[in-house]
Structure 1
Amino acid sequence: MSFKRVAGPQARDKSGASGVSKTFCYSLLTLCITHAVSIKTVSAADSVAAPANASKEPSLVVTADTTGGTASDPAQSYTVPATRAGTKLNLTQRDIPQSVSVLTQQRIKDQNLQNVGDALANVTGISASQNDSERVDFYSRGFYINNYTYDDIPSTQTGAWNFGETDGDSAIYERIDVVRGSTGLMTGTGNPGAAINMIRKKADSKTFAGNLSASYGSWDNKRYVADLSGPLNDAGTLRGRVVTGYQDQDSWVDRYHKRKKFLYATVAADISDNTTLDLGYDYQSRNTDGPTWGGLPTWYSNGSKIQYDRGANPSADWTHYNILSRKVFANLTTNFDNGWQVRVNGTHTQSDFDSKLLYVTGYPDQTTGILNSSGYGFAGWYKGLRTQTAVDAYASGPFELFGRQHQLVAGVDYSRQRNRYLYSSSILSPAQIGDWNSWNGDVAEPDWPAWALSSEDTIRQKSGYAAARFSLADPLSLIVGARYTQYSALGTSADMEKNNLTPYGGLVYDINENYSAFASYTSIFQPQTYRDQQGNYLKPVTGKDYEAGIKGDWDNSRITASLSVFRIEQDNLGQIQSDTYVNNSSENAYRASKGVVSRGVDFEINGAVTDNLKVMFGATRYVAKDADGDRTNPYMPQTSLKLFTSYNLPFMPDLTVGGGINWQNRTYKEATNPSGATERVYQGSYPLANLFARYQVTKELSVQGNIKNLFDREYNTNPSGGVAFNEPRNYSVSVNYSF
């Protein structure tokens, strides 16, 4: 095995030169892993296409044996050699001066992560708040994540309305890249917690191939998925791929039933030797009966805690939650002989939901079950429509300056998002709700009032961005960039225009062939609709991220590691001014203030430790406090550990076993008890353990079993609201046929 360090993605050395055997032993935190590799330094002459000045820049090129051993197959890997996460420069993870996690299709398959939400819950540094059965919010480093991108095109999620960003089926994605911290260079607006980039599968096979799978699990969960791809002409210059599936399931929650169907189709056409056009369509439909809305009441009127069965469902029999999403997309990519690439990427999305929901609040009497005088049932019927049209165009490639090779990316993008929400609501009295102790959802559906407009807005963003990676010296590189964004919002929620310049900077120093040290400054901004006493909109909330650490890369990125410390400052946060109003109206006035400071450390090691063993271990610890010194979002864990392993038994090569555990520390929320006092409600720390095993019956046929929540731990999934329970121990068995 031979190595050569390159500026950017690592490339394979085809010279076949023999290497000198050497064992790398590395220890990060409490995890010690030994991995044997072979190393030798190669000159520029060893590389077939080395640049003229390559002798000035020692680099690392990897020659690895990819014959035999499951970990050597890229399709079965837990890592990728390079990613455009963070900057759109195609770099190895150790060359990106931010914390990056990659969740590949193989790990999604091993853990049986059937939707995006399940996948994110298993990413280092990401924590979930399950508001109810249909809405999941994700947080990183103390901040709400509202930046979701699809093949690098941003789409912002709002907490109030759910269009299913986190419930999309994972089968259509090749992998999910997560960048923790501020990501304004690539996403424009948003919060400084993290950005999620979902990379769709491509029609890249010139031979007919496919995978058919069927699974059955707890609560009558039936799931069928087909993934078929191949050439559409003899030359293979026109290729197609279809991923489609259907799922039907009940739940541990009483009276809950869900049906999901999806169709993803894409076509790739080689217009020339250097240019490829990709076209695609993504259809996803989810229909739920008996969805929950918020949590269950916490206390009886006498102050004692209500003890619920785990399957308790506060919804009524007439409730539903239906989401329909349709996306069309296209991208045109041209690769030039000099290493430059030009890409134009466009998408149009239309998503709508229709939901009838019931939320019950108040304090029932422990004996009669009747809600107190302040209690009621809130019935809401909501409809929403969101459309987004976006185009992103950029060019990236190498250039030479002062005798050294550097990299540059520059682009522009435009997006227009229109949101329209309607509602109809009604109040159910305590008498209509009846005995809460024997609640079974049997309550009459109200006579719905006429539809009313909740909000209607159009949001536009026009941006230009650029980033360059300069090779300052043999071991030292500098990444600098900026994004200029023109943001406008017009509608019932706001009428504003904001311009913002978002800088980006990072240094990476190669300590040796395997380790790099980095430091970075990144930022992001989020416009807000609050106004001051004079009627002026407050300046956008800004997030500033300072990060430094060490990264490791072994065996051509088959295994990667990172250890980083960070500090995030969120400023200009709108704070309400008591007894102060906008232009003497009834609208409360706000002022901009210092916001939240989050400080912490995170660590991750991911990939193939040996040809048979793959490991992902991540740990995060942060402390986030507001300007008054109070803990921010205390219902989110500040310490979390995540571990997952997959082991192919050497003495039984057809059998793969594995599992993992997720642990988080104690959290709490501030709630008002029946006496009117504020009380902290705690959720203790807990581990969630999972197991899986897969047996390769034939070359094409495999059988896999998964067990989730092995120890059947029970906890509250809605830490910021009422009471809602996590899924009990459950299983699934799947059969996969590949050809």
Structure 2
Amino acid sequence: MSSSGRDSGIRKTFSLSLLAMAVHALLNPIVVHAATNTQQDMVVNATSTDDSGDNEKQDYAVKTTRAGTKLLLTPRDVPQSVSIVTQQRMQDQQLQTVTDVLNNTTGISSNLVDSERSEYYSRGFKITNFTYDGIPTSTGDSWNYGDAASDTAIYDRIEVVRGATGLMTGAGSPSASVNMVRKHADSKDFTGSVSASYGSWNKQRYVADVAGPLNSDGSVRGRVVTGYQDQDSWLDRYHKNKKFLYGVVDADVTDNTTVSLGYDYEKADTRDPTWGGLPIFYSNGSLTHYNRSLNSSADWTYYHTEIQKVYADLVHNFDNGWSFHVNGTHAKNTFSDKLLDIYSAYPDEDTGEGTTGYGSMDRGKRELTSVDGYASGPFELFGRQHQLMAGVSYSRQHNQTYSQDGVTDLDEYDITSADMGAFNNNWTGNIAEPQWQGWYLNANDVIRQKSAYTAARFSLMDPLSLIIGARYTQWSTNGSSGNMTKNNTTPYAGLVYDINDTWSAYASYTSIFQPQTYRNSAGSYLSPVTGKSYETGLKSAWYDGRLTATFAVFRIQQENVGTEENGVYVNNSSEQAYIATKGARSKGAEFELNGALTDNLQLTFGATRYVARDSDGRYNSDQPQTQFKLFTRYQVPMLPDLTIGGGINWQNRVFEDVTGPDGNTQLVYQGSYPLANLFARYQVTKQVSVQANVDNLFDREYYTYMNNYVYGEPRNFSVSVSYQF
């Protein structure tokens, strides 16, 4: 799947141009930034002034965050690797789902399992922690509840903390935690925007975001974000539409107290979705190579999801610098589907004969009720000022799924559908729907977490601070898969040393605790994941925090990690079975440069290299161990109404152990590949702008999943018009 020499030359020219632009800016303006930067204050106030005006609203970096510790800190003072994707970055790159954001975030890799489901990895381990405004949600692999499919139009930013995040999430993996921060009604003036876009495969998208005061003095404010999207795909016959609505009211009850009430709704309907991928081997043992447009689904398949969330949020700021924050949410996610998987998948190379399909009809829901409250603020001890945070949380999550098997032979109860005939590039999905044999329970489990947590940031001396903390978690699950209760205390420790006004050195340690909801082939839960995580590195901040850099070295030791058992399912159902692996280790380094190189040039550059191994060799070998991700935006000084940019993502070769038609395991490779993208935006008037984006510029052909072949997205474009008022 190599590109032509001409494409290779274009890629090299494009990459060198971007690199030259970055180096030129890096060698010139940063000297000014460093000279004007001041020492970071030990305590960051909850409110801050915006000294840079509109420039900061367009930044790729943020000044403060609670990511990692829930203490309000600058990114430089957080002793872990943190990437924050802002609204401006999402708009420039047209990152319209959380999946899009993660695919373009430093250190994150993914598997596109089929047309509807994705898996995400960081530092070699699978990401299972998704939080909304800091409230955790437990996810599984068998069903997609829409966490990563959520539309980004409703979010102010998305925060990714790599490594173990037990202090924030309680039970969790050492991969990363993804926190989605919702937008608020923070404008006392009527403002908003509407946009419309059209792109490849008849993709239409319409979004409105309107905010303003609801009373005369603006103490009560409202905001509504709504949108509709309709599209086909590079896959034949595939069609999807979604609609979403988000509304929030923020009220200043007193000068120091704000209450927020919000509602979030999203519904997606898909026709002819795939379940799994395409056959890898022909019956003669040679590798297949189908058209990217080939859709393995039947014409009677569908996939529906619906998400509803309500939440309430209260923040009170005391005059002494302390603040109290309580957040409560109730969420209900449902899905239903009718799917076809290519079950016996070794077709004849010439005729396409020899495959059969497995039919499954499924439905399920997840209900989550959570409350989280914490207080944070400064205190004095031994003549120095420090910070303290303490809180409690409770969550109850109910997961329930049912399935029906499709059968054609009632006497022998053959769970496969009829012979699929000639499965080749001319396959149309015209196959008889199997007979469905009645609903049966897949899972009906309730997961509870009760936690108490605290963290303190001590100023040991002017250049040295120590963050220590711990979270005590009572975790339990009850239901059809059995009952399990685990209690655990997760420590957190981090040191940050300010080398000078620009650079800091840091080191952190945390333990790992994750009761697993994965099940083995007999239906029993695997034992909890345990381990240790270490990280050290350098951080810097220029231009009053508008540009940041992080260099991190990490090591993760983990035991009892659940890994897919190829071709094995729980009690012969459609639920993937897992086995426990011993002694997984990951060690490596990451680098990220993010923010404003100048007022005209924004850049995000991330590089990751790690080695993950277990007793059998390379661990999760289908994930790239080397990645580079670059994206830039440049406002042309000679034409200030014109903004141009682009980037490139590159990953190294990966492979998968796959069983061939002769019963032997073979290594299947996906070679290294780059994905380039471009964008341009022109401000036609003060209110109207036009933007164009191109992804996979050189139309690189690649696989995103190799247990079965799933192709990545071909070259595509979009054009959008936005009106700001």
* CA deviation after TM superposition for structure 1 residue 482, in Å: 0.2
Match of 2:631 in 1: 644
CA gap 1:572/1:446 in 2 versus in 1, 3 angstroms = closer
1:515 equivalent to 2:515? Answer no
Q: Which amino acid aligns with 2:398?
A: R
* CA deviation after TM superposition for structure 1 residue 302, in Å: 1.1
1:423 equivalent to 2:403? Answer yes
Q: Which amino acid aligns with 2:280?
A: T
CA deviations 1:88-127 (Å, max 9, x no partner) are 0000111000000010000000001111100110000000
Match of 2:368 in 1: 388
CA distance in 2, matches of 1:86, 1:430: 49
Match of 2:19 in 1: none
Match of 2:681 in 1: 694
Residue in structure 2 matching 1:186, options 164, 168, 185: 168
CA distance in 1, matches of 2:562, 2:451: 25
Match of 2:350 in 1: 367
Structural mapping, 1:593-608, within 5 Å: 594-608=582-596
Q: Which amino acid aligns with 1:674?
A: P
CA deviations 1:195-246 (Å, max 9, x no partner) are 0000000000000000100000000000000000000000101000000000
Q: Mean alpha-carbon deviation: is it higher for 397-406 or for 423-432?
A: 423-432
1:704 equivalent to 2:701? Answer no
CA distance in 2, matches of 1:498, 1:300: 47
SS of residue paired to 1:166: coil
**Residues 195 and 207 in structure 2, CA contact (< 8 A), matched pair in contact too:** yes
CA distance in 2, matches of 1:275, 1:731: 45
CA gap 1:146/1:576 in 2 versus in 1, 3 angstroms = closer
CA gap 1:241/1:430 in 2 versus in 1, 3 angstroms = closer
- In structure 1, the gaps of 5 or more residues are 1-26, 578-588
1:221 equivalent to 2:203? Answer yes
* CA deviation after TM superposition for structure 1 residue 415, in Å: 0.2
Residue in structure 1 matching 2:486, options 498, 509, 515: 498
CA distance in 2, matches of 1:385, 1:276: 33
* CA deviation after TM superposition for structure 1 residue 611, in Å: 0.8
Residue in structure 2 matching 1:630, options 614, 617, 620: 617
Residue in structure 1 matching 2:719, options 712, 733, 738: 733
Give aligned-pair identity as a percent: 59
CA gap 1:591/1:449 in 2 versus in 1, 3 angstroms = closer
Match of 2:182 in 1: 200
**Residues 140 and 518 in structure 2, CA contact (< 8 A), matched pair in contact too:** no
* CA deviation after TM superposition for structure 1 residue 516, in Å: 0.2
Q: TM-score, normalised by structure 2?
A: 0.90
Q: Mean alpha-carbon deviation: is it higher for 541-550 or for 345-354?
A: 541-550
1:436 equivalent to 2:432? Answer no
CA gap 1:538/1:263 in 2 versus in 1, 3 angstroms = closer
1:312 equivalent to 2:294? Answer yes
**Residues 183 and 523 in structure 1, CA contact (< 8 A), matched pair in contact too:** no
CA distance in 2, matches of 1:556, 1:38: 9
Match of 2:256 in 1: 274
CA distance in 2, matches of 1:723, 1:33: 47
* CA deviation after TM superposition for structure 1 residue 73, in Å: 2.5
Q: Which amino acid aligns with 2:473?
A: T
CA distance in 2, matches of 1:199, 1:64: 20
Match of 2:381 in 1: 401
Q: Mean alpha-carbon deviation: is it higher for 354-363 or for 122-131?
A: 354-363
1:37 equivalent to 2:33? Answer yes
CA gap 1:118/1:537 in 2 versus in 1, 3 angstroms = closer
**Residues 97 and 148 in structure 2, CA contact (< 8 A), matched pair in contact too:** yes
CA distance in 1, matches of 2:526, 2:429: 44
CA gap 1:58/1:253 in 2 versus in 1, 3 angstroms = closer
**Residues 597 and 624 in structure 1, CA contact (< 8 A), matched pair in contact too:** yes
Q: Which amino acid aligns with 1:368?
A: T
Match of 2:3 in 1: none
* CA deviation after TM superposition for structure 1 residue 65, in Å: 5.5
CA gap 1:421/1:537 in 2 versus in 1, 3 angstroms = closer
CA distance in 1, matches of 2:319, 2:27: 43
* CA deviation after TM superposition for structure 1 residue 502, in Å: 0.2
* CA deviation after TM superposition for structure 1 residue 697, in Å: 0.6
CA distance in 2, matches of 1:58, 1:380: 54
CA deviations 1:244-299 (Å, max 9, x no partner) are 00000000000000001000000001111100000000000000001011110111
Residue in structure 2 matching 1:133, options 115, 122, 126: 115
**Residues 348 and 387 in structure 1, CA contact (< 8 A), matched pair in contact too:** yes
* CA deviation after TM superposition for structure 1 residue 727, in Å: 1.4
SS of residue paired to 2:544: coil
Q: Which amino acid aligns with 1:310?
A: R
**Residues 278 and 342 in structure 2, CA contact (< 8 A), matched pair in contact too:** yes
1:99 equivalent to 2:91? Answer no
1:659 equivalent to 2:646? Answer yes
**Residues 64 and 556 in structure 1, CA contact (< 8 A), matched pair in contact too:** no
Residue in structure 1 matching 2:536, options 540, 548, 552: 548
CA distance in 2, matches of 1:531, 1:617: 38
CA distance in 1, matches of 2:669, 2:348: 23
1:722 equivalent to 2:721? Answer no
- In structure 2, the gaps of 5 or more residues are 1-21, 409-415, 566-576
**Residues 412 and 464 in structure 1, CA contact (< 8 A), matched pair in contact too:** yes
Q: Which amino acid aligns with 2:704?
A: T
Match of 1:154 in 2: 136
**Residues 494 and 529 in structure 1, CA contact (< 8 A), matched pair in contact too:** no
CA distance in 2, matches of 1:393, 1:643: 38
**Residues 623 and 638 in structure 1, CA contact (< 8 A), matched pair in contact too:** yes
Match of 2:553 in 1: 565
**Residues 413 and 463 in structure 1, CA contact (< 8 A), matched pair in contact too:** yes
Q: Which amino acid aligns with 1:76?
A: Q
CA gap 1:496/1:423 in 2 versus in 1, 3 angstroms = same
CA distance in 2, matches of 1:550, 1:229: 40
Match of 1:257 in 2: 239
Residue in structure 2 matching 1:377, options 350, 357, 367: 357
CA gap 1:176/1:431 in 2 versus in 1, 3 angstroms = closer
CA distance in 2, matches of 1:519, 1:243: 40
* CA deviation after TM superposition for structure 1 residue 530, in Å: 8.5
CA deviations 1:309-343 (Å, max 9, x no partner) are 11000000010010000000011100011110001
SS of residue paired to 1:88: coil
CA distance in 1, matches of 2:564, 2:327: 41
CA gap 1:727/1:610 in 2 versus in 1, 3 angstroms = same
CA gap 1:666/1:63 in 2 versus in 1, 3 angstroms = same
CA gap 1:649/1:530 in 2 versus in 1, 3 angstroms = closer
* CA deviation after TM superposition for structure 1 residue 523, in Å: 2.6
* CA deviation after TM superposition for structure 1 residue 673, in Å: 1.0
* CA deviation after TM superposition for structure 1 residue 494, in Å: 2.5
Match of 1:459 in 2: 447
CA gap 1:530/1:34 in 2 versus in 1, 3 angstroms = closer
CA distance in 1, matches of 2:303, 2:479: 26
Structural mapping, 1:206-245, within 5 Å: 206-245=188-227
Match of 2:390 in 1: 410
SS of residue paired to 2:80: coil
What do you get for the CA RMSD once the two structures are aligned? 2.7
Q: Which amino acid aligns with 2:298?
A: A
CA deviations 1:410-458 (Å, max 9, x no partner) are 0000000001100001246585311112321001111211110111000
Aligned length: 679
CA gap 1:591/1:293 in 2 versus in 1, 3 angstroms = closer
**Residues 62 and 555 in structure 1, CA contact (< 8 A), matched pair in contact too:** no
CA distance in 1, matches of 2:495, 2:357: 56
* CA deviation after TM superposition for structure 1 residue 493, in Å: 1.5
Residue in structure 1 matching 2:514, options 512, 515, 526: 526
Match of 2:572 in 1: none
**Residues 55 and 599 in structure 2, CA contact (< 8 A), matched pair in contact too:** no
**Residues 568 and 599 in structure 1, CA contact (< 8 A), matched pair in contact too:** yes
